[in-house]
Amino acid sequence: MATITRFLETFEPSHYDVYIDVNRGTKEISGKSTITGVAHTKPVYIHQKNMEIESVQANGNDVPFTADNKTESIKIEVPEMGETTLAITYKAPLTDSMMGIYPSYYEVNGEKKELIGTQFETTFARQAFPCVDEPAAKAKFDLAIKFDEKPGETILANMPEVREENGVHYFDTTVRMSTYLIAFAFGDLQSKKTKTKSGVEVGVFSTKAHEPKELDFALDIAKRSIEFYEDFYQTPYPLPHSWQLALPDFSAGAMENWGLVTYREAYLLLDPDNTALDTKQLVATVISHELAHQWFGDLVTMQWWDDLWLNESFANMMEYVAIDAIEPDWNVWELFQTSDVPAALQRDATDGVQSVHVNVENPAEIDALFDSAIVYAKGARMLVMMRALVGDDALRKGLKNYFAAHQYGNAKGADLWNAVGDAAGMDVASIMNTWLEQPGYPLVTAKVVDGKLTLSQQQFFIGEGKDAGRSWKIPLNSNYDAAPKIFKDKEIVLGDYEQLRKKNGKPFRVNVGNNSHFIVKYDKTLLMDILDNLDTVDSISQMGILQDLRLLAEARQMSYAAVVPLLKRFANNHSTVVNAAIYRIAYNLRKFVTPNTDEEKALKALYGQLSTEQYERLDWMPKDGESIDDQLTRPTILNAALYAENPSAQAKAHKLFEENKNDLASLSADIRIFVLRNEVKNYGSQELITDLLEQYRQSTDPSYKSDLSVAITSTKDSKMISLLIEKFEDADTIKPQDLRAWFRGVLDNSAGEQAAWDWIRNDWDWLEKTVGGDMEFTTYITVVTSVFRTPERLAEFKAFFDPKINTPGLTREITMDKSIIETRVNLIQDEKAEINAAIKKVTE
C-alpha cells in the first residue's frame, strides 16, 4: 500500500451503478456500489470513509477484502487483472458534518424540517459510496436513490429522473465525470424554471421557508450566464438541465456539481424588492462562477488537485467576464479591484505563501489548497493578465480548442497555456509559468537615476522575507512606448527622463488599469508628478496608487506617516474604487491607536475630514437617478461618518431606527447595517440585543441576518458578550456555517476580544469536531491573525497554535500567521508615535 500513490493506478472505473438508501430517522445510509472497470493490479484499492463494508464481490463471486479507515481504503483481492465488475455492499452514518451526504435543518411556521443534500468536493464522495475518489477517475454513473419519502417531497440529481419504482428513484446515466461532482438532494422544495435559447432547462430550488420571489433573481442570472458561456466558449452546455439549489446548511459558498449546483442560501436567494446592489453583485458573481465551472472544471477537469487553480482561478475570472457582459451598467470589474486584488496582494506578500500551483498528496492537505486569496484571487488576476495580453479573440479560440481536445477528460495547466498560446501565436506558457510556479510577486521600482528613467524588479515582502532571486515576466502596461511590453530583466533603462516626459506630455506610469500582479514604487520625482496631475489619472489608476502606497507602508518601504497627508487629495473623488482604497488605508491606521484615547480621537477627526463633504453630498437615502458609483460609495461613507462620530450621521441613524423599529427588516438594505450597528453601539440595551437576537433566529432573509450579526456583535455590554459566546455552540441560533462571522465580530470588538479568544482556545476540540472536515476550518486561524496586534497576543497565539503546527492542513497557515502578527506588532511598536503625530498634524 505504501508504494501506491493513486488508487486509479490499481483500478480504472468506467461505469457505476450506485444504489443508496437514506433513512433520516435513524441517520443511516445503506447501499451498494457496483463498479465496472479494469483491474490493473492485484489487489486493487477502492476509497471508502467511515463505512461498514458488508460484502465485496468481483465478477459475481465473493472475494476477500480489508477496510482501513486510516487510509480510507478497501483492499480487494481480485482473482485476476483485466475487465472486472466490483459489487460492494455497505452501511454508513448520516453525519452533521456538512460533508458527504448530510441533513440541513430549517423551520417553516415553527415546524422543524430537514433537507438532505451532498457535498463531495474534495474527497467526500467516498463517505457516500465506495468509489475511486480521484478527479482523473472519470466514469459514467447510474444513480438510484431511496429515502424515507413523505408526500410532496422532491428529489434532484445531476441528471433527470427517468422512473420511480417501489420508492426507488432512478436517474438517467450521467456523462463521463469525476466523483466529486456527483450530487443529489431531497426534501420539501419549491422551484422556478425557465429555458435557455438553446433549450437547456434552468431551475432554482429552495425550501418553502422562503418567499417564491426570492428565486427570481437567481433564475434570471443563471439563464443568462449559461447563454453567455455557450457563446463565449463556443461550446454547448453538455447536460439537459442546470439546477441551482439553496441548502440551509452549507460549509462552502457554493459547489459546481454538474447539473445540480448547490449554494448557501445567502449566495442564491434574495429579496428583489430590498437588497443592496453590492449584495446583488455578489450573488450574481457566485452564480456565474459556478456556471463557468460547468465547462471549466466539470467538462474538462484538472488531472489532480495540484492543478486546482485550473478550475478555480479560471472560474473566478469568468464570473466577472460574464456579469460584466450581461449587466454592463454594474461596472463589476471594480468589485474585482476592491475585493480580489487587495486580498491577493496582501496574502501573496507573506514569505511562505503557497504558489498558485502546489504539489499535494495527503487528503488532509488537499483542503488546505483552497486558499481563496491565492488559488482564487491571485489565480484570477494572473488570468486577467493573460487575457489582456492575448485578447478575447485568441482566448475564445484557444478555449474552444481546449474544450474540444479534453472534453469529458482531464487536463493540466500546460494544456491550457498551449491551447491559448497556439491561438494567440505567443509563448504564453513561458510568461505565465513565472506567475504560476513561484510564490509572491514583484515590486517594480521606477526612478530617475542620473537623469535616466530606470525600472527594476525584485520580490516584494511584507515582513521578513528570504529573497530567492526570483524574477517574473511582467506585462508592464505602461503609458510610455519606451517601456517594454514584457519586462523580464532585473533592471532596464528607458532613456532620458526629461525628454520622455516632454515627448509623452503626461506623468510616467506602469500597470495602467491595475491588471498585472505587481505593485510599483515611484521615486519622489515621479510620484509627485502623478499626484500633481491627479485630474488626468483615471479612477482605477488612482486606486492603484493608493493600493501601492498602503502595501509599501505595510512593508516599511515608506511610512504611513507619509501617506496620511496624501489622503485628502483623493477624498472627494466620487469613484467607488478610489473611496474603497482611501478607507482601506484609513482602516489600517486603526491598529496604531488605542481605543478611548486622544490618539483615537484624532483618528476619528481624520475620518471626519475625509468623509464630511461626501456624507453631506450622499446623505442616508438613495436619490432618484443617482449613479452606480454613488450607490456603492454611500455605505463606505456612512461607515466612515459613524466612526468619526459625525453628530448628524448618528442622529439620523437613530431617527431611522425609531421610525422603523417595528419592522427593521424593511429598512433599505443599502443602509440597514449602519442603522442597526449605530443603535447597538450608541443607544443599545440588553433588551435591544435580546430582541435582535430573536429576530436573527426567526428571519429567513440571509441579507438581514448578516446585518443583524454585524450589529449584535458590536455591543460593548460584557453581559451580552457572554450571552453571544454561549450561542456560538447553539446551532438553533447560530448555524455552524455562520459561526465564523459571529466569532470574528466579537473578536474584532475591543470589548469582546478576550472572551472570543478564550472561547476558541477552550473549545477548540468542539470547533474541530464541528467544522474540522471543512475546507474553511483554517480560516478561523486567519480571523484571529487579522485582529491580533500586541506582543502579548502574539505570545498567546504561539503558545496555543505551536503545538498544532504539525496537524495536516494547518502547518502553512500557522507558520505564516505567526509571521503576519509579528510583522504587525513590530510595525506598530516602531512607527506608532510617528504615525499618530502625522494624524494629529493633519487634523489640527
**Residues annotated catalytic, as ranges:** 290
Grid coordinates standing for 764?
477548540
The residue among 218, 192, 211, 212 whose CA lies nearest residue 203 is: 192
DSSP 353: P
Grid cell 502547518 — which residue? 811
| Residue 300 near residue 402, CB atoms below 8 Å | yes
Grid coordinates standing for 512?
495602467
β-pair partners for 459? 442
- The full 3-state SS of 705-755, as one line of letters, equals HHHHHHHHCCCCCHHHHHHHHHHCCCCCCCCHHHHHHHHHHHHCCCCCHHH
Grid coordinates standing for 19?
444504489
Grid coordinates standing for 280?
446583488
Instruction: Give the whole-angstrom CA distance, residue 37 versus residue 653.
Output: 66
What sections of 234-262 are H helices per DSSP? none
Sign of CA dihedral 393, 394, 400, 401: positive
Grid coordinates standing for 328?
454592463
Burial of 533 (0-12, 13-18, 19+ CB in 10 A): exposed
| Residue 487 near residue 444, CB atoms below 8 Å | yes
Name 351's Cβ contacts closer than 8 Å, sequence gap at least 6. 440, 461, 463, 464, 465, 466, 816, 819
Burial of 161 (0-12, 13-18, 19+ CB in 10 A): middle
Q: In what order do the strands lie in the sheet with 161-165?
A: 61-62, 52-58, 82-93, 28-39, 11-23, 140-147, 168-171, 161-165
DSSP 372: I
Q: How many CB atoms lie within 10 A of CB 135?
A: 23
Grid cell 453630498 — which residue? 617
Side-chain half-sphere exposure of 670, counting CA atoms within 13 A: 18
Instruction: Give the whole-angstrom CA distance, residue 503 versus residue 432.
Output: 33
Terminal alpha carbon distance of the chain: 72
- The number of residues in the chain equals 844
Q: Is 197 helix (H, G, I), strand (E, B) or coil?
A: coil
Peptide bond into 122 cis (omega under 30): yes
Name 201's Cβ contacts closer than 8 Å, sequence gap at least 6. 193, 194, 195, 240, 241, 242
Burial of 247 (0-12, 13-18, 19+ CB in 10 A): buried
Instruction: Give the whole-angstrom CA distance, residue 84 versus residue 76.
Output: 12
β-pair partners for 103? 116
Interstrand relation of 260-264 and 241-247 (parallel, antiparallel or unpaired): parallel
β-pair partners for 240? none
Grid cell 502606497 — which residue? 549
684-695 CB burial, b ≥16 within 10 A, e <16: beeebbeebbeb
Strands of 397-462 (E only): list them: 409-411, 442-449, 452-459
Instruction: Give the whole-angstrom CA distance, residue 204 versus residue 778.
Output: 31
Instruction: Give the whole-angstrom CA distance, residue 407 versus residue 32.
Output: 29
Instruction: Give the whole-angstrom CA distance, residue 676 versus residue 631.
Output: 19
